[in-house]
Amino acid sequence: MTARIGVVTFPGSLDDRDTQRAIRIAGAEPVALWHKDKDLKQVDAVVLCGGFSYGDYLRAGAIARFSPVMEPLIEQAKAGLPVLGICNGFQILTEAHLLPGAMLGNDHLHFICRDQKLRVESANTAFTSDFVAGQEIHIPLKNMDGRYVADARTLDMLEAEGRVVFRYLDFNPNGSLRDIAGISNEAGNVVGLMPHPEHAVEPLIGTGRTDGLPFFTSILKKLVNA
Amino acid sequence: MARVVVDVMLKPEILDPQGQAVQRALPRLGFDGISDVRQGKRFELEVDGPVDEAALARIHQVAESFLANTVIEDFTVKVEEVAEAAK
């Protein structure tokens, strides 16, 4: 049976179709979820994709965090459902307190769009098992509010517990503390990152590399082996 | 009818590049002597009915869970004006 991976569309989501496509290319079945859905249609995992949910008018992800679909998502994420938050999805996950810290506007105040080099710091999450720790990858990054912040105690805890999953290499594009590009929750089933793996799954587009594909094959493998 | 004002500010230890950009522009406009600017948000909530303790407690809850992100922001709640009828 094919793994079913939900992709939530909020008003203002931009990357839902690319994410569905990446899931299909990885060999799973994408399931469209709507922000007003009150259940998750029994999917095996969920991706919160990039964009500007509800216009990000209050803070990035703050309004989406209270949409109907988030109620079962928060409950099931706490119970172990794999959830990947990309960019706006990462912002929603911090606003929902499924991941610690918060996302703020880039320190240079500009929208940024570039091919970003990252180091995979942890292969011990539901979405990174097809990488090896220390691996360097290139995937596109595009954001306005990508500055990850948390207090020093939280940052130390994340480092000590191996929950800094991705770090920016060579260039910090947004002023993120300790060059953090992505983190996970304690169990490793909830992962958030700012760059966009769904835009790097085919050699013809994006960076010209397919460094984003292991995100989606990792979760597939985990679900198949579960 | 009454108005309740919720002011939200980034915590002092959080970098505020917007405020810094404003501060840097001030000398160009001829304003000297401003050493720091921090930019916040102000929400004005028009409340139907009396702003009693229960209503204020509810607004406080909304401010804490939604209007402000207390990981990075502080907030204050104050009643700005209370119509006579509401007293």
Q: pLDDT, tens digit, for every residue of B50-83? A: 899 999 999 999 999 999 999 999 999 999 865 5
In the DSSP assignment, the letter for residue B21 is H
Q: Which among A35, A87, A138, A199 is annotated as catalytic?
A: A87
**pTM confidence score:** 0.94
At B84, the pLDDT band (50, 70, 90 cuts) reads low
User: Which pLDDT score, from 0 to 100, does residue B83 have?
Assistant: 54
Tokens standing for residue A100: 């610690």
Using an 8 Å CB-CB cutoff, list chain A residues near B66: 58, 62, 66
Q: Which residue has the tokens 């098992």?
A: A129
At B86, the pLDDT band (50, 70, 90 cuts) reads very low
Least CB–CB distance from B18: residue in A100, A109, A175 = A109
User: Which pLDDT score, from 0 to 100, does residue A1 have?
Assistant: 66
Q: Catalytic residue at A87?
A: yes
Tokens standing for residue A59: 């803070």
Question: What is the ipTM for the molecules in this complex?
Answer: 0.89
Digitized pLDDT (tens) for each residue of chain A, 226 residues in all: 689 999 999 999 999 999 999 999 999 999 999 999 999 999 999 999 999 999 999 999 999 999 999 999 999 999 999 999 999 999 999 999 999 999 999 999 999 999 999 999 999 999 999 999 999 999 999 999 999 999 999 999 999 999 999 999 999 999 999 999 999 999 999 999 999 999 999 999 878 899 999 999 999 888 877 6
Q: Give the chain B residue nearest A106 (alpha carbons).
A: B17
The three state secondary structure string of chain A is CCCEEEEEECCCECCHHHHHHHHHHHCCEEEEEECCCCCCCCCCEEEECCECHHHHCCCCCCCHHHCCCHHHHHHHHHCCCCEEEECHHHHHHHHCCCCCCEEECCCCCCCEEEEEEEEECCCCCCCCCCCCCCCEEEEEEEECCCEEECCHHHHHHHHHCCCEEEEECCCCCCCCHHHEEEEECCCCCEEEECCCHHHCCCCCCCCCCCCCHHHHHHHHHHHHHC
